[in-house]
Chain A
């Protein structure tokens, strides 16, 4: 069995897609640069460095080598027949980005941007993180490539993802808890942007998703296109045809755009993004930006966002820190408007049910983010029936979420999870 013989990780970077923005980064009416003038020079520098690297065999070769020897690409495609039994008998295929080094798809983008940082001669990297997946991946690449790494993380998220905070620190990164606004991902991005405006000469902002000002949405997408390129070949080889639908979770939208992109020109393939429905969109406590939001400018780009009638950003909510974001990448906004992709909310409860189901049926504990895509695939399978093939981007693994999940399912008491009542850390094996 050949493992995606035709696909190299750098293909998504070297080969232009037929769905690129205009030269100023507009995907239809979305995207662009809604940023302070102070950042424009750095964005121009980044655009130029990226454009040059795309045609540079040394850069592309280094990216391929790292993804093969360090990330562990290509990531496998796993049949999930027992999960399929719960999904109307549909055939469910999992693209295993959870098996990448650092445990998620985030490494695809991070290695690319870290290599670019070196080429631009910058020595300091800043990043935002929600669940900590992007922060861990960034800290990892910075350790590997000798870059100073500062990660901004909302204080709410440092609490619910404490293990990833420790991981980043072990890797040598400085983690700065952000205490402004809603103290989540949105505010971590604000703080990273403030740092960047101040230190732009020495610093690269290694943005973790397909949002932000041009060139981030197109560049980050290109680094993730490998997901869909590999998966398309793997599905063709495995099943002899294209899938009926591709399912992915959408926060900022990087793993979704990475897998969708290879199928945009296949009209028979439905592309469906599953957004965090939180407590249910009717409660107002959710992060379903595309399903429930409206167009506006946030964090450097025009896209959909959750906002009130005065244009103030609304606070999002999700059990999943990585999806808890009131904005979304501009290319998704365009895909929604033109009807090429659909976006549906999945509630916390549905995601956690899928989390449990995948763990028990297939022995795979997904990230809670990715569990939203699994829940969506179950919903789709029940709709499409036993003849359907559904490709799911399993974007990350759930090690970081064990604490949250154990509380959700009542496997440990709330106050027992990290510390006992006296504040003493629980040793291995728990209480005597």
Chain B
């Protein structure tokens, strides 16, 4: 399985992909595996496994608090590989979302090697831009991992072009200017950043930041290839455990299916 296979399978189903995020080790390592497997059962096509980090500048209060809890409960970087392995063993597909310093500290090549051998498919890097990514570009190439960089509403055409050229798997478009966190509406800039990115790449484009309801998922899936949901899953895990995340995944998956296949631009 590769990220491309995940998107191809969704395409044959005439729909976009649902990507769900939770931090590894939240609230404990074992619990986080159960929660992520429940997300797969509920209908997530791809799991985004977060690495809890001490200084998450792209994250709002919900994910910050979850990362703090996971770290306080003793999660270690090596646990990430266990979590990914167990998701893959249960038939799920997983990419990792991480700030770059834990990867630097582990060793960029060693991290790529160990993630690939655990069955991980790629890495989303919210604070690494391709300009600084030489070592990661080489390591991801060597170990066959997809590298998912972000584009933002503030990105210039030139930067969108150079960023997507460095991406494999899919492109992560941030729907708003801001940090993670569930919002009531997805801003008008989301369709715009997707439309501006589309001419520069044939890769699928996922939209994240702020999505929490089936209605929003349906709306986003009408113009993007993947709907990425994070904080809402953290809240569901906190409030409702595995049943909570399974139900939210099913609800969001319903929204994505209602949107059907994306209308070609």
Interface bits A294-311 vs B (CB < 8 Å: 1, else 0): 011111100001010111
Given A198-B177, A307-B101, A186-B163 contact (CB < 8 Å): no
Query: In the complex, what residues of A have CB within 8 A of residue B177's CB?
Result: 38, 197-201
Q: Which of A33, A194, A200 contacts B129 (CB 8 A)?
A: A33
Taken together as a complex, chains A and B put the C-alpha atoms of A133 and B40 apart, in Å, by 51
Complex CA gap A284/B150 in Å reads 37
User: Is the beta-carbon distance between A34 and B128 smaller than 8 angstroms?
Assistant: yes
- Please measure, in the bound complex, the distance between the C-alpha atom of A254 and the C-alpha atom of B95, giving whole angstroms: 39
Q: Are B129 and A35 in contact (CB under 8 A)?
A: yes
User: In chain A, what residue has the closest Cβ to B105?
Assistant: A311
Task: Indicate which residue in B101, B155, B178 contacts A41 across the interface (CB closer than 8 Å).
Answer: B155
**Does A37 contact B178, Cβ atoms closer than 8 Å?**
no
Which chain B residues (115-174) contact chain A, with CB distance < 8 Å?
Answer: 126-129, 131-132, 149-156, 159, 163, 174
Beta-carbon contact of A298 and B55 below 8 Å? yes
Interface presence of B10 (CB below 8 A): no
**A40 and B159 contact, CB distance less than 8 A:** yes
Check if B4 is an interface residue, CB within 8 A of chain A. no
CB contacts under 8 Å to B, within A188-229, are: 190, 193-194, 197-201
Check A34/B127 contact, CB under 8 A, given A310-B102, A313-B55. Answer: yes
Whether a CB of chain B sits under 8 angstroms from the CB of A312 is yes
For the complex, what is the distance from the CA of A297 to the CA of B108, rounded to whole Å?
13
Q: Given A34-B128, A311-B77: A41 and B156 within 8 A (CB)?
A: yes
Contacts A310-B76, A311-B101 given; does A299 touch B55 at CB 8 Å: yes
Number of chain A residues close to chain B: CB under 8 A: 37
- Residues on A with C-beta less than 8 A from B56 are 190
Question: Once the chains bind, are B126 and A36 in contact (CB under 8 Å)?
Answer: yes
Say yes or no: B57 contacts A200, CB within 8 Å: no
B216 contacts the other chain (Cβ, under 8 Å)?
Answer: no
Question: How many contacting A-B pairs (Cβ < 8 A)?
Answer: 110
Contact A37 B155 (CB under 8 A): yes
Q: Give chain A nearest CB distance to B56 CB in angstroms.
A: 8
Cα–Cα, bound, A47→B26 (Å)? 40
Residues of A within 8 A of B1 (CB): none
The answer to whether A297 and B104 touch across the interface, beta carbons within 8 angstroms, is: yes
Contacts of B154 in A (CB 8 A): 37-42, 200-201
Main DSSP-derived SS at the A contact region: mixed
Interface residues on B, range: 35 or more
- In angstroms, Cα B159 to Cα A30, docked, is 23
A74 interface residue, CB < 8 Å from B?
no
Is A181 an interface position by the 8 A CB rule?
yes
By the criterion CB–CB under 8 Å, are A37 and B102 in contact? Answer: no
Query: Hey, which chain B residues are within 8 Å of A41, CB to CB?
Result: 154-156, 159
Residues of chain A with a CB closer than 8 A to B126's CB: 36
Complex interface: chain A residues within 8 A of B8 (CB): none
- Rounded to whole angstroms, the CA-CA distance of A186 and B132 in the bound complex is 23
Residue among B151, B156, B177 with the most chain A CB within 10 A?
Answer: B177
Q: Pick the contact of A180: B64, B71, B131 (CB < 8 A).
A: B64
A315 to chain B, nearest CB (A): 9
Alpha-carbon gap, A297 to B127, bound state (A): 10
Assembly CA distance A76 to B178 (angstroms): 45
Q: Which residues on A sit within 8 Å (CB–CB) of B178?
A: 197-198
Complex contact B101–A36 (CB within 8 A): no
Q: How far is the CB of B256 from chain A (nearest CB, A)?
A: 25
| A238 interfacial contact with B, CB 8 Å | no
Query: For residue A313, which residues in chain B have a CB less than 8 angstroms away from its CB?
Result: 54-55, 101
- The answer to whether A32 has its CB under 8 Å from any CB of chain B is yes
A24 at the interface (CB under 8 A from B): yes
| Nearest residue, chain A, Cβ from B172 | A37
Complexed CA–CA distance, A113 and B64 (Å): 30
Complex interface: chain B residues within 8 A of A312 (CB): 53-54, 71, 102
Contact B152 A181 (CB under 8 A): no
Residues of chain B within 8 A of A297, CB atoms compared = 100-101, 104, 127
9 contacts between A and B (CB under 8 A): A32-B131, A181-B54, A186-B55, A194-B179, A197-B177, A296-B101, A311-B53, A311-B103, A312-B53
Given known contacts A310-B77, A310-B105, what 8 new A-B pairs fall within 8 Å (CB)?
Answer: A33-B131, A38-B154, A38-B177, A190-B55, A197-B177, A201-B177, A297-B127, A298-B101
Q: Top 4 nearest A-B pairs by Cβ distance?
A: A311-B105, A38-B152, A311-B102, A198-B178
